[in-house]
Amino acid sequence: MVSVVSTTSTTEHTVAVAKEDWKSLTEEKVTPQELITKSFEFLLGRESNESILRNFNITDITRYYPDFPGELKKILST
Instruction: Answer yes or no: is 55 within a domain.
Output: yes
CA torsion sign, 30 to 45 to 73 to 24? positive
Report the SS3 class of residue 4: strand
Q: What is the DSSP string of 7-55?
A: SS-EEEEEEE--HHHHHHHHTTSS-HHHHHHHHHHHHHTTS-TTTS-SE
Averaged pLDDT, 57-75: 96
Tens-digit pLDDT profile for residues 36-60: 999 999 999 999 999 999 999 999 9
- Looking at the domain assignment, is residue 71 inside a domain? yes
Single-letter code of the amino acid located at 3: S
Identify whether 54 is part of a domain. Answer: yes
Residue 30 predicted with pLDDT over 90: yes
Query: CA-to-CA distance for 18 and 76, rounded, in angstroms?
Result: 19
The domain of 34 spans 25-78
